[in-house]
Amino acid sequence: MRKDSRIFVAGHRGLVGSAIVRELERQGYCNILTATRAQCDLSDFRSVIHYFEHVEPTHVFLAAAKVGGITANNTFPADFILENLKIQTAVLEASKLAMVNKLLFLGSSCIYPKLCPQPIKEEYLMTGALEPTNDAYAIAKIAGIKMCDAYRAQYGCNFISAMPTNLYGPGDNFHKAYSHAIPQIMRKFHEAKLVDLSEVRGFTDGSPLREFLYVDDLAKACVHLMHHYREAGPINVGTGVDCTMRATIELIAQIVGYTGRIVFDGNIPNGTPRKVLDVSRIHALGWKHEVSLEDGLRKTYDWFLSAEDKRM
Ligand SMILES: NC(=O)c1ccc[n+]([C@@H]2O[C@H](COP(=O)([O-])OP(=O)(O)OC[C@H]3O[C@@H](n4cnc5c(N)ncnc54)[C@H](OP(=O)(O)O)[C@@H]3O)[C@@H](O)[C@H]2O)c1
């Protein structure tokens, strides 16, 4: 990927896509292509083919997807499987037809079996049953990986698949019901602070161990993989470091400045006791995360406050 390569970032307004654009710009890439949903609906095969014929990208970061937290996945499983299959199918086929040099597909750590050994190695894919609350989404992502591999095997396409752990950062979705854990918890404490609430409840019992990666670190990993990885199968992207949800939640409260009581009432099911990726493969390629959870959460809260200011 040269500095003047024609690089299409699909999903450039989302959490991941916007971070990839920031990182490419920071590194001096000068030919970044983006399209809003109105300009090109990526779930519409014809419009994707037309867009690729028009802009002729040489490299593609596929960060467009239908994404959401547990409640969203559980409520709209048909939308999650259909939208994601449509987007992936259209972008991969268009990339093959346009003879794109390289494509990076973004999956998610939810592709791995619910009860697989920890830390999770890439080879555990399809060795057991998935977490049922998001299996429709996970199946779509597994299909994306297999499609990349099939296009590589049959047509020689240089399509790679990166599997990030839980992400957070500027540009995240802070929707009250349908967002991921970190923005949802951050918002909860922010609102509690505003009305001086004496206690906040509605958590797990705090014991689950989870891993979180700051999105700018993921963006650096994606650019790194574009340069240094060209194999079939998924490659994990995470910190390899896990932390109890209790400690993570207390840290978020501290950063937000909420000083009331936090009740770990177990109102939300704990889910799998531990989930952390084995990141030895990407470490061996020369990438490692840089941003600590505390620094990342501070940056995320600063961004949330500035976005709130803009809305007012
Ligand atoms: N967030 C996480 O914690 C996490 C963790 C692991 C993996 N990932 C993966 O990372 C990728 C990106 O996730 P994200 O968190 O950045 O999601 P996001 O913030 O929801 O962004 C998704 C982007 O895709 C675009 N998009 C969706 N459907 C489209 C369509 N039909 N046509 C055109 N654009 C469309 C959205 O456009 P609009 O702006 O128009 O809505 C948005 O810009 C996904 O593949 C996801 O599986 C995310």
Judge if the beta carbon of residue 17 lies within 6 A of ligand 1: yes
pLDDT at position 312, please?
57
Which of 29, 51, 112, 137 is catalytic? The answer is: 137
Predicted TM-score of the model (pTM): 0.96
Domains (range + CATH), the chain = 7-171+213-239+276-291 (3.40.50.720)
- Phi, then psi, of 297 in degrees rounded to 5: -65, -40
- Phi, then psi, of 23 in degrees rounded to 5: -70, -40
Q: How far is the CA of 301 from the centre of ligand 1 (A)?
A: 20
**283-292 pLDDT, tens per residue?**
999 999 999 9
**Secondary element (H or E) of residue 245:** helix 245-256
Of 8, 9, 13, 16, best ligand 1 pocket probe by most atoms within 8 Å of the beta carbon: 16
What percentage of residues in the chain have a pLDDT greater than 90?
90
Q: How far is the CA of 63 from the centre of ligand 1 (A)?
A: 6
CA 281 to chain CA centroid, Å, is 19
Predicted confidence band of residue 123 (pLDDT cuts 50, 70, 90): very high
Judge if the beta carbon of residue 13 lies within 6 A of ligand 1: yes
**8-51 pLDDT, tens per residue?**
999 999 999 999 999 999 999 999 999 999 999 999 999 999 99
Q: Please, are residues 209 and 247 in contact by the beta-carbon 8 Å criterion?
A: no
Residue nearest to atom 11 of ligand 1 (CA): 63
Buried-exposed string 128-140: b where 16+ CB fall within 10 A, e elsewhere: eebbebbbbbbbb
pLDDT-wise least confident of 22-26, 91-95, 267-271: 267-271
Nearest-angstrom CA–CA distance, 15 and 169: 7
Q: Is 168 among the residues known to form the active site?
A: no
Token match 């939208």: residue? Answer: 83
pLDDT at position 311, please?
65
Predicted confidence band of residue 267 (pLDDT cuts 50, 70, 90): confident
What SS3 string covers 136-159? HHHHHHHHHHHHHHHHHHHHCCCE
pLDDT at position 261, please?
97
- pLDDT reading at 219 higher than 80: yes
pLDDT at position 254, please?
98
